[in-house]
Structure 1
Amino acid sequence: MATRDENAAWSIVGYLLSGLIFWGAVGWGLDKWLGTAFLLLTGLLVGAASGIYLVWLRFGRE
């Protein structure tokens, strides 16, 4: 049982970090390409929200 809970915890961390890294990189790239300064923050917020949503879809409805 402990292994299952530990795997779930690492999956949650993975979902949250991957959302932040992916969408943060997209925002950073768009900032560099378009010459803006707000899309990195927007990308990080979208990444955090999408990570939380994926965690809720995967683990919150059980």
Structure 2
Amino acid sequence: MSALRKRTERPDPRIVTKRATPAGDAHRWSTDTEGPSPTAQADALGATVLAYLITGPLLFGGIGWLLDRAFDTTFLVAFGVVLGMGLSLYTIWLRYGTSQAPTPDGRDASRAGAEPHNEENP
């Protein structure tokens, strides 16, 4: 008899990001309309901003490096990194720092403060 047959079947572990409900609620995952916890939303927002800050300089620095190789120059990498960082900061300011953020569903955009909106927080 092999060692694998001696193991008992266990269910896969679940990752829980919502507030726990009483144990008697059998339909808590199908009827719960509450979104992710505020901690998960803040983590997603921070990860998105960090991704913008890393991706911009890498992408435009890479384009500058390719242009340096094509034109036999040495300044386009630095120019691309600075341009990429500037565009990343501008994108972050537009999405999360303006007082009137655009609304994808067409609601009134003249509210006092902007709500974060991205792929994680519709």
Give distance in 2, aligned partners of 1:14 and 1:59.
14
Shift of 1:2: 1.0
Shift of 1:21: 1.1
Name the structure with the higher helix share: 1
What letter is aligned with 1:58? R
What letter is aligned with 2:82? L
**Aligned partner (choices 74, 84, 88) of residue 37 of structure 1:** 74
Give distance in 1, aligned partners of 2:45 and 2:52.
11
Q: Which structure is larger by alpha-carbon Rg, 1 or 2?
A: 2
Map of 2:50 onto structure 1: 13
Q: Which runs of 4+ in 1 moved over 3 A?
A: none
Q: Which structure carries more relative contact order (alpha carbon 8 Å, separation 6+)?
A: 1
Map of 1:58 onto structure 2: 95
Shift of 1:39: 0.3
Give distance in 1, aligned partners of 2:71 and 2:77.
12
Q: How many residues align?
A: 62
Give distance in 1, aligned partners of 2:44 and 2:83.
25
What letter is aligned with 1:38? F
Give distance in 1, aligned partners of 2:95 and 2:44.
13
Gaps of 5+ in 1: none
**Aligned partner (choices 58, 61, 65) of residue 24 of structure 1:** 61
**Please, what TM-score do these two structures have when normalized by structure 1?**
0.95
What letter is aligned with 1:19? G
Q: Aligned Cα RMSD in Å?
A: 0.7
**Please, what TM-score do these two structures have when normalized by structure 2?**
0.50
